Amino acid sequence: MASRPGHPDCCYDCVPCSEGEMSPITDSEICHRCPDDAWPDERKTKCVPKKYEFLSSEDHIGIIFIFASLLFSLVTIGILGIFIHHWDSPIVRANNRTVSFILLLSILLSFLCVYFFLGCPGDITCLLRQTSFGIFFSISVSSVLSKTITVCIAFKATKPGSIWRKLIGVKTSNYVVGICSSVQVLICVSWMSVSPPYRELDMTSYIDKIIIQCNKGSDYWFYSMLGYMGLLAAVSFVLAFMVRTLPDSFNEAKYITFSMLLFCSVWISMIPAYLSTRGKYMVAVEIFAILASSAGLLGCIFIPKCYIIIMKSDRNVRRNC
């Protein structure tokens, strides 16, 4: 209550309760604070439960992400089918077809891991979110790095008696993919062992709703995972940029350069957006980065090959390799 200046003491104005407080009795001098999971109604006479917020598959944003994930997954499966059908063609055999299939499968899994980010998160879901996309993406980037190293070695080995000739072969590419991916797996296993992600309720970011989110457990391990993935992408980009102008009909270096440039641009721009948002919009930013970077790898590396296989079959001969 607040007294009126110039009026008797019996005259006063009712002052509403402060934010987060209510009073069920009119003209009461005492306001009661609502519990953490509740908030006063408009009249501030009773406490009502706060709304829970998470990125649901029924939200408009969630529906868009589901559609995009399904579309890109179908495109990836279609490209995989084209490559299997033309298994022995020169353009599929060029630059290690085994690594190409590993890359396509890891991109497909990256599109599908989006579903871990939709819906109400639980402890198991929180564990699978970051580790799945981190491992799948590392396999993708390791495969791209393997292809880039193969191109570099191939042109280094053109000189007679070059020691680089000993490194040309399927085993070298497979070793690169296996070793680089294993490092990321080790990072994720260490993260899950030391400080695994878990579900938490954020009751302080918004006054009228509770955010159900995944706590990373350890920011150090999360950014170590992202940092290692960025290191692989940066090395691949630098190597591909160095050999992008070398003559070869099936030289993937220029396509790898564009794909890694897009990949790095998406994740660099994603970090400030990710840190400046809360709730379901933070999850939406991460999903967008996963879809955009995966689609960039798929489009830059495989669409040109599919175009040659389908539309320019006369170029898909051994003399053009």
Q: Strand 51-53 vs strand 209-215: parallel, antiparallel, or unpaired?
A: parallel
Mark residue 46 as left, alpha or beta (left: phi above 0; alpha: psi -120 to 50; beta: remaining): beta
The closest alpha carbon to 138, from 192, 99, 175, 182, belongs to 182
Alpha carbons 103 and 116: distance in angstroms, whole number: 21
Structure tokens given for 5: 């200046």
3-class secondary structure, 11: coil
Q: What is the mean pLDDT of residues 9-33?
A: 65
pLDDT, tens digit, for every residue of 106-130?
A: 999 999 988 888 888 888 888 888 8
pLDDT, tens digit, for every residue of 37-72?
A: 777 777 777 777 888 888 888 888 889 999 999 999
Domain residue spans of the chain = 1-49, 55-320
Give the pTM. 0.82
CATH of segment(s) 55-320: 1.20.1070.10
Distances (CA, A) of 280 to 3, 80, 96, 160, 271: 45, 33, 41, 59, 16
Residue 13 pLDDT > 80: no
Q: What is the mean pLDDT of residues 209-227?
A: 85
Q: What is the pLDDT of residue 2?
A: 44
Q: What is the pLDDT of residue 74?
A: 94
Are the CB atoms for 62 and 118 separated by under 8 Å? Answer: yes
